[in-house]
A and B are shown apart, each in its own frame.
Chain A
Amino acid sequence: MTLDERLAAASATIGEMAEAGITQRLEQLRAAHRGQTDLDRARYGAESDSAELDWAAYELAGQHEAAGDLAAAARWYGLAAASDLGDAALRLGRVLDRHADRYAGQRTGAAPSGTAAEREELALVSEAARWYIEAYSAGHLEAVGYLDDMISRHDIRRPRSRPRDAEPEAAGATAGAACARGGLDAVIEATDLAGATAHFQRCTPCQQEFVQRGGLLASWDVPAAPRPTVGPMRHAAGARR
């Protein structure tokens, strides 16, 4: 049986269901509708309207991006990406990537000096990497190319936010929920590469731990510096999903 034959067979009967089952469900729906409070109705209305708001945020982000306001674009793409809208995660990664380039342009020399611009550049690159990974796991395979390209542009003596000899932050030390499998180290120890990769794609606490450890750029030797404060840009990009 070819793929098209399988799809056609499934499509031909997807609308068929026993009338009794549908009627029963419809009665349950009517009962639930009758029993709804004003609060329930408001909640359902808000949830369904949020689909339109996500799209509006995405459109607004595109306008800010076209106008060159990358911070505002990231803020609005972040809202859309938090709801997993279309290619918002990929576009957010691209905008953060381009914004990191602007900070890179402010560098005064090749050697890392731990300036605020360098730290902000690192933070943006790490956030962009996170969203590229998110986009890749959603099916945007081109995100890998963008990620490679971004790393190649930012990997020369880049600052990191933690001195090399400092202990890595403990698993589960990230804000919010903890990984049920004990964090990055535990997953890597207990699983093979394929299993660890599959877990990482699905586990936001592990992704956050990865970013907190300095992300892809953690191994570079840079002066110790405090982590950058959370500004509007980072807040938007780090919106919980």
Chain B
Amino acid sequence: MSQASLPEPSSPGQRARLAMSSFPEFYRQYWPRLVRCLVTQAGDSRWAEDIAQETMLAAIAKWDELLTYERPDAWLFKVAIRRVRRLEAQARERCLVPEDDDAAAGDLGIAASIDVWAGEHLDLIAAIRSLPRRQAEVIVLHHLIGYTLAETGEILGMCEATAKTHLKRARDRLQVLLHDDHVPAPPRPERGQPA
């Protein structure tokens, strides 16, 4: 599948300022990042698009207020990640979290079938999903989305030093998981499906 490349601003801050010209532009810039961030965090891929869209609905509803924020994109990730964690907490409360590798691999297969990016980075996503949630959040916000550790800490409600600690633990664990091939490898999707 061919993916139309958007011009990449040099930093998340610059990207955010450029995207603030209108909500559609903001959406174009952050929808892919938001939904893929959520795919790496949610145990159930079906939640990712729903939560991303609900978060965007909340953003459009308070667009005028978001225009006054220094980093409206940070608000987006903060709210979306909190939604995921709240849903997961409710799932844990009801003992509804899948535990076996087959379920996890099956869910990743679904994610890969609807998004080429997920299919191309399946082993990395599987490894990130296996991390404790704070570590998974820090590594994605810092390494994949591009926030500084201070910004990452602010989004997640922790100080920069704590974010740094989680980042180190996450990197150490990922080194082991990806090197030793401990992560279950779900089937890759057929090429040519829409992202």
List chain A positions with a Cβ less than 8 A from chain B: 3, 6-7, 9-11, 13-22, 25-26, 28-29, 32-33, 36, 41, 44-45, 47-48, 50-51, 54-55, 58, 80, 82-88, 137-141, 176-181, 195, 198-199, 202-206, 240-241
Contact = CB atoms under 8 A, between A and B. Distances in A.
A24 to B, nearest CB: 9
B72 to A, nearest CB: 12
Given A3-B178, A19-B4, A41-B61, A202 B99 contact: yes
A51 B78 contact: yes
B157 A58 contact: yes
11 contacts: A3-B178, A21-B195, A22-B32, A36-B61, A48-B79, A50-B82, A80-B157, A83-B89, A138-B132, A139-B134, A241-B92
A154 to B, nearest CB: 26
A36 B56 CA distance: 13
A14 B194 contact: no
Nearest to A11: B144
Contact of A32 (B57, B99, B124, B169): B57
A137 B95 contact: no
A203 B99 CA distance: 10
Contacts of B157: 54-55, 58, 80, 85-86, 88
A181 to B, nearest CB: 7
B54 interface: yes
Interface of B: 1-6, 8, 24, 27-29, 31-33, 36-37, 53-58, 60-62, 78-79, 82-83, 85-86, 88-90, 92-97, 99, 117, 120-121, 123-124, 131-136, 139, 143-146, 156-158, 162, 166, 169-171, 174-175, 178, 194-195
Given A18-B4, A141-B169, A202-B99, A29 B53 contact: yes
A29 B27 contact: yes
Contacts of A206: 95
Nearest to A140: B134
Main secondary structure of the interface of B (DSSP, over half): helix
A92 to B, nearest CB: 14
Contact of B89 (A18, A58, A82, A177): A82
Contact of A44 (B61, B88, B93): B61
Contacts of A48: 55, 58, 62, 79
Nearest to A16: B3
Closest 5 CB pairs of A and B: A139-B132, A86-B157, A139-B134, A84-B85, A17-B32
A94 B138 CA distance: 23
Contacts of B62: 45, 48
Contacts of B90: 241
Given A21-B195, A33-B61, A139-B135, A11 B31 contact: no
Contact of B32 (A3, A7, A16): A16
A79 B6 CA distance: 41
Contact of B82 (A9, A51, A178, A179): A51
Contacts of A45: 58, 61-62
Given A22-B32, A202-B97, 5 more contacts: A15-B29, A18-B4, A54-B157, A83-B85, A84-B82
Contacts of A28: 53
Contacts of A29: 27, 53, 56-57, 60
A109 to B, nearest CB: 40
A51 B1 CA distance: 37
B169 to A, nearest CB: 7
Contacts of A137: 132
A5 to B, nearest CB: 11
A6 B121 contact: yes
